[in-house]
């Protein structure tokens, strides 16, 4: 039995009215650990466990680490998660709740990841937060579930950070024969490493990250994300931090589900009729985010609003 659950697929009346078309939402925010990450992470952890791994090591500022911690607890495997200093106290507490050992290191994810790599022993498995074919295979199950309902969207809207979700969704589209279904990949302006790669048609490392959407905080996307852009109709879109936060608040009001700004990036595009082009039947991946709090969203909105 898989560690992730088959999440609800709903036609969103508020989003459909706002966008003036049919908008369907795949509610992966309802995964046991709060985000889609459990699909790929759970798949990878189960395989490594079956191969004899006795300890899982991960590097994550939030959702991926939580997914590894949850999977490890369920499988009875100890977990160490290295997080950057930007990781909130709330996120660290959630990791501890899942019985993970938490190490804080570095000012950004890439520094935490470098330390995590040194901690991997002979009988350990390193679980990357986004750049691993095992993850993409697991994330592809999201599209399998949509296809099983009989819904065939005109386009899929999702947030992109490191590119793991994008890579998995494209894999799922291809294996269900939906090679012509475009993906609208959305980032915030200050964390747009995928957009930079698309513009250059090459992997680009951002000089710095400047976004509150910390779950989108990869300075460089996985190479597979760029391959997806070259081999599948993938469009790159950007929104502001304020638009992402306002979309989170609006979605909470509309659907009683709290998500983080990284997820709000995709929702921001979905709430805007002009952002979705001519597509009339749209699927939005509500990827989630367990580390978000309502107080934090309000604080961000107040800070981002023009004086």
Per-residue pLDDT tens digits for 17-74: 999 999 999 999 999 999 999 999 999 999 999 999 999 999 987 899 999 999 999 9
Dist CA 287 CA 229 (whole Å): 20
Give the pLDDT score at 87: 86
Report pLDDT for 126: 97
Q: Which residues pair with 9 in a beta bridge?
A: 26
Q: Where are the domain boundaries for CATH 3.40.50.1100 in the chain?
A: 9-36+134-304, 38-129
Q: How confident is the model at residue 306 (pLDDT cuts 50, 70, 90)?
A: confident
CA 110: distance to chain centroid?
17
pLDDT for position 243: 95
What digits encode the pLDDT tens for the residues 103-146?
Answer: 999 987 888 999 999 999 999 999 999 999 999 999 999 999 99
Q: What percent of the chain has pLDDT over 90?
A: 80
pLDDT of residue 267: 98
Q: In whole numbers, what is the pLDDT of the chain averaged over residues?
A: 94
**Does the domain at residues 38-129 carry the CATH identifier 3.40.50.720?**
no
Comparing 223 with 213, the larger pLDDT belongs to: 223
CA distance 91 to 207: 26
The whole-number pLDDT of residue 307 equals 67
Q: By the 8 A CB rule, do 41 and 127 touch?
A: yes
What is the β-pairing status of strands 22-27 and 124-127? Answer: unpaired
With cut-offs at 50, 70 and 90, classify the pLDDT of residue 292: confident
In CATH terms, 9-36+134-304 corresponds, of 3.40.190.10, 3.40.30.10, 3.40.50.150, 3.40.50.1100, to 3.40.50.1100
């Amino acid at each position: 039995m898989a560690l992730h659950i088959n999440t609800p697929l709903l036609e969103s009346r508020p989003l459909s009215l706002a966008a003036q078309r049919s908008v369907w939402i795949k509610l992966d925010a309802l995964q046991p650990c709060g985000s889609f990450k459990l699909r790929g992470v759970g798949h990878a952890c189960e395989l490594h466990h079956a191969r004899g791994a006795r300890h899982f090591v991960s590097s994550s500022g939030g959702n991926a680490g939580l997914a590894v911690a949850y999977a490890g607890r369920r499988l009875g495997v100890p977990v160490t998660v290295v997080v950057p200093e930007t990781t909130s106290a709330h996120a660290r507490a959630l990791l501890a709740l899942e019985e993970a050992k938490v190490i804080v290191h570095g000012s950004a994810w890439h520094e935490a990841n470098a330390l995590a790599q040194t901690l991997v022993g002979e009988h350990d498995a390193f679980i990357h937060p986004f750049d691993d074919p095992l993850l993409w295979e697991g994330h592809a199950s999201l599209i399998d579930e949509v296809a099983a309902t009989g819904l065939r969207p005109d386009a899929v809207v999702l947030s992109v950070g490191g590119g793991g979700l994008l890579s998995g969704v494209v894999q799922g589209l291809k294996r269900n024969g939906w090679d012509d279904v475009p993906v609208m990949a959305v980032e915030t302006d200050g964390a747009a490493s995928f957009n930079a790669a698309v513009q250059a048609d090459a992997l680009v490392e951002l000089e710095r990250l400047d976004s509150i959407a910390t779950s989108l905080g990869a300075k460089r996307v996985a190479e597979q994300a760029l391959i997806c852009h070259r081999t599948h109709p993938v469009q790159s879109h950007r929104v502001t931090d304020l638009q992402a936060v306002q979309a989170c608040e609006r979605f909470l009001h509309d659907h009683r589900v709290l998500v983080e700004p990284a997820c709000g990036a995709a929702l921001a595009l979905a709430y805007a009729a002009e952002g979705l082009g001519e597509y009339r039947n749209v699927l939005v991946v509500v990827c989630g985010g367990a580390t978000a709090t309502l107080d934090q969203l309000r604080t961000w909105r107040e800070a981002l609003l023009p004086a």
